[in-house]
């Protein structure tokens, strides 16, 4: 069974077919992408956290993560369980023109990567479903495609993929997903508070008072549900916003630090480098260099 991740080049996509993880060998952290990610889960259980909500991971689940959307997949590896998935990550604007020949499909494609999605998941996609076959067939073709064929093959794969997703997505609108039919989890209330206040100086006592919980209970509840501490998540959320601002604005680094709640620019630069392996200035330069090459 293929576990490879195929990284074609900066101008195309990342792709993996039935990538399998066991014993937490590929630990997932909160992260986002410059492009859109489609994740099809073949096997495994656990928790997905996106849009300040948690969703139950189950086989046959398709997840759509939009550009710059912070998310985390937490597989459950207890009792010898494994996590197996197919995925593709790509920059949607690079393939927009290929969809323009089909106005309805183009509108759907644009919606999935531009508009806010109330529910990012579809369910009930088995291994005999067309989507699973599309991932498998593209893996098979990628093993023998030539450089001249690559751009066309990738474009056809994405067009067929979104064409298969479109009717299922339209049917799912208005329906209640398996993960939505429950009361809001306390950890999600914490995530919502953080989303509103991460740009302000953080004090655990303020959060505890807002949710009428003790600081001790609050901290342990969040760590158990989300997998990281509150302070770690806030740091990740701040860096995530800094990445977006560095890539999409020309605001100075000092102003970006202030806008994400850090008044000490030196600390911000240190924190950014620890998370991104580059200073804010280096990251912006690399992003701009890549953008102009495209």
What own/partner pairs with CB < 8 Å and gap ≥ 24 does 269-272 have?
271/235, 271/238, 271/239, 272/239, 272/242
pLDDT for the residue 15: 94
Position 231 pLDDT exceeds 50? yes
5-172 matches 186-293 in fold:
no
Helix (H, G, I), strand (E, B) or coil at 63: strand
Read off the pTM.
0.75
CATH of 5-172, one of 1.10.8.60, 2.60.120.280, 3.10.290.10, 3.40.50.2300: 2.60.120.280
% of residues, the chain, pLDDT over 90: 59
Task: Tell whether the model's pLDDT for residue 87 goes beyond 90.
Answer: yes
Mean pLDDT of 86-107: 92
Give strand ranges (E) for the chain. Answer: 5-7, 13-22, 36-43, 46-50, 53-57, 61-65, 71-75, 82-90, 121-122
- Give buried/exposed letters for 256-265 (b at 16+ CB in 10 A, else e): bbbebbbeeb
Q: Per-residue pLDDT tens for 23-74?
A: 877 667 788 887 899 999 999 999 999 988 889 999 999 999 998 888 999 9
**Domain extents for the chain?**
5-172, 186-293
CATH number of the 186-293 domain: 1.10.10.60
With contact defined as beta carbons under 8 Å apart, do 264 and 205 qualify? no
């Amino acid at each position: 069974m293929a576990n490879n991740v195929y990284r074609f080049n900066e101008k195309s996509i990342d792709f993996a077919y039935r990538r399998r993880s066991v014993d937490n060998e590929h630990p997932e952290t909160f992260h986002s992408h410059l492009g859109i990610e489609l994740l099809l889960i073949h096997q495994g259980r656990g928790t997905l956290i996106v849009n300040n909500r948690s969703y139950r991971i189950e086989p046959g689940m398709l997840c759509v993560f939009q550009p710059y959307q912070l998310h985390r997949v937490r597989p459950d590896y207890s009792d010898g369980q494994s996590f197996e998935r197919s995925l593709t990550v790509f920059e949607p604007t690079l393939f927009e023109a290929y969809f323009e020949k089909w106005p309805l499909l183009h509108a759907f494609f644009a919606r999935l990567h531009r508009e806010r999605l109330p529910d990012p998941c579809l369910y009930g996609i088995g291994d005999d479903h067309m989507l699973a076959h599309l991932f498998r067939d593209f893996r098979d073709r990628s093993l023998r495609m030539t450089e001249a064929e690559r751009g066309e093959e990738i474009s056809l794969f994405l067009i067929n993929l979104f064409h298969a997703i479109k009717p299922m997505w339209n049917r799912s609108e208005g329906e209640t997903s398996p993960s939505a039919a429950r009361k809001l989890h306390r950890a999600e209330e914490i995530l919502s508070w953080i989303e509103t206040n991460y740009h302000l100086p953080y004090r655990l006592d303020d959060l505890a008072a807002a949710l009428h919980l003790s600081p001790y209970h609050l901290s342990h509840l969040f760590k158990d549900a989300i997998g990281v501490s509150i302070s770690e998540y806030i740091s990740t959320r701040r860096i995530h916003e800094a990445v977006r601002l560095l890539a999409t604005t020309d605001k100075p680094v000092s102003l970006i630090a202030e806008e994400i709640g850090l008044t000490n620019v030196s600390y911000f630069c240190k924190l950014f480098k620890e998370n991104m392996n580059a200073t804010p200035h280096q990251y912006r330069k690399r992003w701009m260099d890549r953008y102009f090459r495209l």
